[in-house]
Amino acid sequence: MSSDQPSIILDCDPGHDDAIAIIVAARHTNVLGLTTVAGNAPLSATTRNAIIVRDLLGLDAPVHSGAERPLIREPKHADYVHGKSGMDGADLPEPSGPPASTDAVGFIIDTCRANEGAWLVPTGPMTNIGLALRAAPDLKDRIAGISLMGGGTFGNRTAAAEFNIWCDPEAADIVFSYGGPLIMSGLDLTHQFQALPPRIEMVRALPGQLAHVLAGLLDFFSHTYTSRHHGIGGAAVHDPLAVMALTHPHLFTVKNAHVEVETDGVRTLGMTIIDQRDLKEVPPGNCEWQTHVDADAAWDVVVEAIAHFSH
């Protein structure tokens, strides 16, 4: 860790792409901790997977589990994308042990108060983050900001809503209205960043167990994408872009925008409404909306990070 690396708490629901986000974070940030939330799979699975990835990297960071369900809605998962385990596609080692605690929210609050200037990086449903911001409003002035994967100009779980927001729109609404710095990496960005076959081969060509495991995970993840989509050549590797927004900002094009979350719609529940009107009445922007990524360069960051931990 170098002093110029951002300090972050990565709140995640591993999740194939969350695993890649953990690797990039381990390589390029000071990971204060990993917190887990139910999302791609139930909390027990996402927590197990976060510990396994942490262990594979030899990362010195605690894993704290958090919310097993959204603030008010019923829990929903995505085994149709990630498999029953949440990370199907590879022979994974057993986790080294249980999470450090089951109080992710308390960890987030205490750690942000003790480490002023940390970033919160949610890459799953934002239940833990919403609970922390509601319990400790002072976090707004203590954190450097929030860089999230979620939302965008179109949906995936519904025509309008992206999965992380759709799972817990009320928590996402707390995040988008918290009033501090906010970076959104939505589907319009992350679908530019696909695990195309040549990119997966770059991973498979690396030595060591980690690269072998990740190549298998990416094969599985990409198959679920290409089998369900018409025009996608590989899995959209969403979550590491929320980390690279902080570590490699030169790879992105960003616009300031006013974004709100739909919490009442029948067909639009969980939609991120990005106000693109050219009107003076549009409220001031509350979000840095990442609209483009240099996908080849970003994939090189992923491959280098995997190589760094492969031996």
Positions marked catalytic: 238
CB of 16 to ligand RIB, least distance (A): 7
CB of 184 to ligand RIB, least distance (A): 12
Region label for 208, one of left (φ > 0), alpha (ψ between -120 and 50) or beta (otherwise): left
Q: Is residue 15 part of the contact set for Ca ion (CB under 5 A)?
A: yes
Q: Is residue 11 part of the contact set for Ca ion (CB under 5 A)?
A: no
Q: Which residues bind ligand RIB (CB under 6 A)?
A: 13, 15, 17-18, 39-40, 123-124, 149, 156, 162-164, 238-239
**Quick one: what does residue 162 bind among Ca ion, ligand RIB, none, with the CB cut-off 5 to 8 Å set by partner type?**
ligand RIB
**Quick one: what does residue 156 bind among Ca ion, ligand RIB, none, with the CB cut-off 5 to 8 Å set by partner type?**
ligand RIB
Q: Is residue 123 part of the contact set for Ca ion (CB under 5 A)?
A: yes
According to DSSP, the β-strands at 194-195 and 235-236 are: antiparallel
Pick between residue 85 and residue 206 the one whose CB is nearest to Ca ion.
85
Pick between residue 13 and residue 173 the one whose CB is nearest to Ca ion.
13
Provide the edge-to-edge strand list for the sheet that holds 30-36.
Answer: 63-65, 30-36, 7-12, 119-122, 145-149, 182-185, 287-293, 252-261, 272-275
CB of 154 to ligand RIB, least distance (A): 11
| Part of the chain binding Ca ion (CB under 5 A), chosen from 122-130, 133-141, 273-281, 296-304 | 122-130
Whether the Cβ atoms of residue 150 and residue 182 lie closer than 8 Å to each other: no
HSE, CB side, 13 Å, CA atoms: give it for residue 283. Answer: 10
Q: Which of 42, 17, 30 is nearest to 241 (CA)?
A: 17
**Between 216 and 255, how does the x/- string for binding to Ca ion read (CB under 5 A)?**
-----------------------x----------------
- The tokens for 147 are 């860089």
Beta strands in the chain (DSSP E): 7-12, 30-36, 63-65, 119-122, 145-149, 182-185, 194-195, 235-236, 252-261, 272-275, 287-293
The binder of Ca ion chosen from 11, 18, 88, 162 (CB under 5 A): 18
Query: Sign of dihedral through CA atoms 73, 75, 78, 80?
Result: negative
User: Rounded distance, CA 54 to CA 12, Å?
Assistant: 12
| Distance, C-alpha 295 to centroid of its chain | 17
- The tokens for 202 are 């770059």
Q: Is residue 124 part of the contact set for Ca ion (CB under 5 A)?
A: yes
| Distance, C-alpha 181 to centroid of its chain | 17
| Part of the chain binding Ca ion (CB under 5 A), chosen from 91-99, 116-124, 223-231, 251-259 | 116-124
CB of 11 to ligand RIB, least distance (A): 11
**Quick one: what does residue 42 bind among ligand RIB, Ca ion, none, with the CB cut-off 5 to 8 Å set by partner type?**
none
> For binding to Ca ion (CB under 5 A), which residues are involved?
13, 15, 18, 123-124, 239
